[in-house]
Amino acid sequence: MPGLWKKDTILFFYTVFGDQVTKSPVTTIKGRGTASTIPGRFARQISEMDESEELLRHPNTQLTYETAKSLITRNNSPDVPFSLSVNPYRGCEHGCIYCFARPTHAYLDMSPGLDFETRLIVKENAVELFAKELRKPGYDCQPIALGINTDAYQPVEKQLCLARGILQTALAYRQPISIVTKGGLILRDLDILSAMAEQQLVSVAVSVTTLDNGLKRAMEPRTASAEMRLKMIRELTAAGVPVTVLIAPVIPFINDHELEAIIAAVKTAGARQAAYIMLRLPYEVAPLFSEWLQQHFPDRAEHVLKRIADMRGGKLYDSRFGKRMTGEGIFADLINQRFHLAMKKHGLGSERVPGLDCSRFKVPPQEGDQLSLWDMTE
């Protein structure tokens, strides 16, 4: 169990992870989800950070550009409603402390902690590669989820426009796209999204975790405010884009009390469906989240972790399909009952979001063909 120890008037948080003990100061960095540089589970070397360094107090976002060899990834999980996805970025500047994708930075020999939100990998050829993979002879058109592992509308997208380019390609060749985001930047692309919606080519899921902006700033610092997320729902709906809301994650004693209020607010904003996901703590996310609790909610940290373990068979994470998104036990059942009662009360879920239309798909032309995609810089 993680613990706090006094040393030279500075509080340090010690996290036991496997056979490693990682030390990080119990502090926060404005605009970042964590100050921890916990090593990834594959790390061969572990360096101890100097908490006095300016870099730690105000770390800049660093971008590394790569030429990706593939973009469309496949999964066969029965817990998610898609089998194909694209992610133009690795790492996410949003800094959500609970993000299930943090452990992927371990494969890059980087920290799933601060590195995940400050050292981003940009797939600079994502737009061109997307069209190339759509024209592969064996490609069978089906909806593709955009920005599932890391948010495609994180702050760096404002300058890089990779998500916009992918959407332009999708519209040009009638490739259906589903999007999950908590970034207000999606409203920049309303022109493309509304055009896609007219042809039943797009749906958007807006993640609404809390209506409390104080909690949002601590838990997911560089995401859109609650007001902006409700605006996103309103404007997307007004543009004809079908919108679902994801209340994710639901965290006991942190935001679970907001469940009914969130459902009421998103219904008023125009959402047509909603779903929820219980907190997941795979791999390095567990110690990072435990540390975050000690920083922000020391009075209830132990209660939160105990309740999570109650829903996960005595552990902080249960990876079993059918259980990992919802948990099990009395508390998980109570959340499920509350969710469905609120959905029924507010009429959410009765009007199904229409399925996306794959029948319009056309294969992108090869380079040099007379027919080509319109100017991608627009």
- Domain boundaries, given as residue ranges, for the chain: 3-40+59-346
Give the pLDDT band of residue 153 (cuts 50, 70, 90).
very high
Least confident of 107-116, 318-327, 351-360: 351-360
As a whole-number percent, the residues of the chain with pLDDT over 70 amount to 85
Predicted pLDDT at 338: 98
C-beta atoms surrounding 101 within 10 Å: 19
Least confident of 36-50, 168-182, 233-247, 260-274: 36-50
DSSP single-letter state for residue 19: T
| Mean pLDDT within 338-354 | 85
Architecture (CATH level 2) of domain 3-40+59-346: Alpha-Beta Horseshoe (3.80)
Does pLDDT of 377 surpass 70? no
Predicted pLDDT at 236: 98
Block residue for tokens 């975790």: 209
Give the pLDDT band of residue 5 (cuts 50, 70, 90).
very low
Predicted pLDDT at 21: 40
Nearest to 101 by CA among 238, 283, 267, 228: 283
Give the pLDDT band of residue 369 (cuts 50, 70, 90).
low
Does pLDDT of 96 surpass 70? yes
Residue 17's SS3 state is: strand
Sheet strands (E) in 155-272: 177-181, 202-207, 243-250
Least confident of 136-150, 203-217, 282-296, 359-373: 359-373
Predicted pLDDT at 351: 59
Predicted pLDDT at 365: 87
Distance CA 181, CA 122 (A): 18
Average confidence score pLDDT of the chain: 88
Sign, Cα dihedral of 331, 208, 192, 351: positive
Give the pLDDT band of residue 20 (cuts 50, 70, 90).
very low
Give the pLDDT band of residue 43 (cuts 50, 70, 90).
confident
Predicted pLDDT at 76: 83
Does pLDDT of 157 surpass 60? yes
Predicted pLDDT at 44: 64
Structural element, H or E, at residue 233: helix 226-238
Query: For 328, what's the count of Cα atoms within 13 Å in the CB-facing half-sphere?
Result: 12
Distance CA 13, CA 294 (A): 8
Does pLDDT of 239 surpass 50? yes
Does pLDDT of 7 surpass 70? no
Give the pLDDT band of residue 11 (cuts 50, 70, 90).
very low
Does pLDDT of 15 surpass 80? no
pTM of the model: 0.88
Give the pLDDT band of residue 353 (cuts 50, 70, 90).
low
Radius of gyration in angstroms for the set of CA atoms belonging to the chain, rounded to a whole number: 21
Does pLDDT of 37 surpass 60? yes
Question: What secondary structure does DSSP assign to 82-121, as a single string?
Answer: -SEEE-SEES-TT--TT-TTGGGGGGGTS-TTHHHHHEEE
Give the pLDDT band of residue 52 (cuts 50, 70, 90).
very low
Dihedral of the CA atoms 120, 224, 86, 92 (nearest 10)? 20
Instruction: Give 119's strand partners.
Output: 62
